[in-house]
């Protein structure tokens, strides 16, 4: 198998069951925009799993970005290993919506602990692009 085929067949980190190449990869690389809030959520999880910090910042609502975001995120992606995403529910966030919420669980491991991050995230669409606004987060270990 050639290297390209391996990459094409690799399962997407977001757990969709689709190959990475046809799921989050083109979105994280900016070749395609996420059509729904859930797709954006999945692509952000994938970006966390792969350490695509620029993408995480670019898909955060501008007023929620902080000066230290890049440093904080770089640390997070270095020390946290994301091991699985489960979408629990979605509300709005469809192709014709302007806002939506996604409730999910993301399993993680660090050197000190393993646990689950539970979050109900709010998203909004701006100029055709979904953005992460904020969320209620709970860490369960």
Q: Please return the burial class of 107, using the count of CB atoms within 10 Å of its CB with bins 0-12, 13-18 and 19+.
A: middle
Distance in Å, CB of 28 to Zn ion, minimum: 9
Compute CA 54 distance to the chain's CA centroid, rounded to the nearest angstrom: 12
Closest approach of Zn ion to the CB of residue 99, in Å? 22
Is residue 14 within the footprint of Zn ion (CB under 5 A)?
yes
Any residues with CB less than 8 A from the CB of 40 and at least 6 apart, and which? Answer: 27, 34, 59, 123, 130, 131, 132
Least Å distance, CB 123 to Zn ion, is 16
Can you tell me which of 9, 16, 81, 82 binds Zn ion, judged by CB under 5 A? 16
Report 18-77 residues binding Zn ion (CB under 5 A): 23-24, 42
Count of residues binding Zn ion (CB under 5 A)? 6
Q: CA geometry: angle at 132 spanning 54 and 39, to 5°? A: 90
- List residues near Zn ion by CB under 5 A: 12, 14, 16, 23-24, 42
């Amino acid at each position: 198998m050639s290297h390209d085929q391996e990459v094409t067949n690799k399962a997407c980190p977001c757990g969709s069951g689709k190959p990475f190449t046809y799921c989050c990869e083109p979105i994280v690389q900016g070749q395609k925009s996420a059509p729904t809030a859930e797709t954006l959520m999945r692509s952000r999880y994938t970006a966390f799993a792969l350490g695509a910090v620029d993408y995480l910042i670019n898909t955060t609502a501008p007023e929620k970005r902080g000066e230290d975001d890049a440093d904080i995120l770089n640390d997070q992606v270095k020390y946290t290993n994301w091991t699985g995403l489960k979408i629990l529910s979605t509300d709005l966030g469809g192709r014709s919506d302007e806002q939506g919420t996604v409730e999910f669980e993301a399993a993680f491991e660090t050197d000190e602990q393993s646990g689950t991050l539970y979050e109900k995230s709010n998203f909004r669409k701006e100029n055709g692009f979904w953005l992460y606004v904020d969320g209620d987060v709970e860490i369960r270990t």
